[in-house]
Amino acid sequence: MAKDDSGDSGDTGTYKVTEGWLKGEARTKVNGLRNWIQTGPDYETLTEYAAESGVHKGLQAGSGTLGPDAALHKVFTQLCVSLKAQLDVLGNGFNTLSIDMAMVDTILQNSEDDAALTATEMNLELANALKVFGGAPTPPNP
């Protein structure tokens, strides 16, 4: 991605997406963030707490595991289940975003000789990923 240097002193804040950037560097960063969220020892521990299995079967009292009817244990397990579900939604959203960026990159490369991708077309392609995160594309200014 390159900043548009038009040479004048009035900075427009416009950036141009260069060929291959979406499928390359941008996609790599999005996939890296997804992997950071959904892998690693912290995610594994959270998964064990949520499932009450493995090494981390629940909260430990001073001398052993809390009883299954302990309110704190139950609430903590529910928190872990909820947090894991939200991390999975985020991870899936980043996966969708990664796929959509690759599609936009392909469209940009295929249409390079014919015409530029309009903001509307790009919004349509990326709207899928925005929906996963609970957002919507920003409508164009009139």
Across the chain, what does the average pLDDT equal? 77
Contact indicator for 76, 49 with CB cutoff of 8 Å: yes
Specify the higher pLDDT residue, 7 or 100.
100
pLDDT of residue 141: 61
| φ, ψ dihedrals at 108, nearest 5° | -60, -45
pLDDT of residue 88: 92
Q: What percent of the chain has pLDDT over 70?
A: 67
- Which token pair is 35? 């992997």
Contact indicator for 126, 104 with CB cutoff of 8 Å: yes
Where is 2: in which H helix or E strand? strand 2-3
Please state whether beta strands 2-3 and 15-16 pair in parallel, antiparallel, or not at all (unpaired).
antiparallel
Specify the higher pLDDT residue, 71 or 123.
71
> What's the predicted TM-score (pTM) here?
0.59
In tens, the pLDDT along 58-114 reads 777 666 666 666 778 788 889 999 999 999 999 988 888 888 888 888 877 776 655
pLDDT of residue 84: 93
- Which token pair is 136? 């919507």
Q: What percent of the chain has pLDDT over 90?
A: 8
pLDDT of residue 138: 61
Mean pLDDT of 23-42: 88
**For residue 20, pLDDT beyond 60:** yes
Distance CA 2, CA 14 (A): 9
